[in-house]
Structure 1
């Protein structure tokens, strides 16, 4: 598979749907199992929605990944929003600053193989996730 990076600007709910569709398409292309496709699409949907709702919009970049042994998908969610003041609190199941279930960050982290977050108050948040083929 060619290493093609696709980038979607997330400014509306329609863009969150586009992110989900793109992730599903690439997950099928790299031959993730159906269960892993579902996990990755769920995590991507949640993180794209967070980019929109809490980050005020941003971008999502989806690309194939390879580590020499296996293939996967890497997704980078970036916003220039307010950042996350207390990461430990943000990762606590049930904690929400919105009206949701409070499973966004912690739930997404459990659904992927690699999860990295860089955030600074007043500067925004960048989350990189990777899901590998089994």
Structure 2
């Protein structure tokens, strides 16, 4: 396995600046290589993680990202949890709609990230922050 990530325990990165978003991307790339995701799947999960880390910073006011190497007995993968204590998402269905944005972007953040990974779970409520868990499995 590739060095740089301890596959035995979750790796946590705080997100409070643009530099931290870059660190999240690097951590996710290292973990994806360590569990032997294909180059295509590495790119997908790093892209999703980058978008979600940026959302954690911009919309959640910062937070944490936890990256864990996992194995379901058939194949390895990585699970990434993004958590913030921001305002939460008032209308989740609307936020997951392609083209919807509150920040002037393309509106592909949440919906795009969801399409790039194998599993996507979001827990949010107004005033209670947001927690998004994504998983990408090796093929």
**Could you say which TM-score interval applies, normalised by the shorter chain?**
over 0.9
User: Which structure 2 segments of 5+ residues have no match?
Assistant: 2-6
Find 2:87's aligned residue among 59, 66, 82.
Answer: 82
Number of residues of Structure 1 aligned to a counterpart in Structure 2: 134
Aligned to 2:33: 28
Find 1:98's aligned residue among 103, 124, 127.
Answer: 103
Matched residue SS, 1:94: coil
State the Cα distance separating 1:4 from its structure 2 match: 2.2
Distance 1:131 1:87 in 2: 22
Distance 2:113 2:70 in 1: 18
1:64 aligns with 2:69: yes
Distance 1:115 1:27 in 2: 17
Q: What is the RMSD computed on CA atoms of the aligned residues?
A: 0.8
Find 1:120's aligned residue among 97, 122, 125.
Answer: 125
1:54 aligns with 2:55: no
Distance 1:71 1:34 in 2: 15
Aligned to 1:129: 134
User: Which structure 1 segments of 5+ residues have no match?
Assistant: none
Matched residue SS, 1:64: strand
String of CA shifts for 1:83-110, please: whole Å, max 9, x gaps.
Answer: 0010110011000000110000000000
State the Cα distance separating 1:46 from its structure 2 match: 0.1
State the Cα distance separating 1:125 from its structure 2 match: 0.2
Matched residue SS, 2:74: coil
Matched residue SS, 2:25: helix
Following TM superposition, the consecutive aligned residue runs of length 4 or more in structure 1 with deviations greater than 3 angstroms are none
- Length-normalised TM-score, structure 2: 0.95
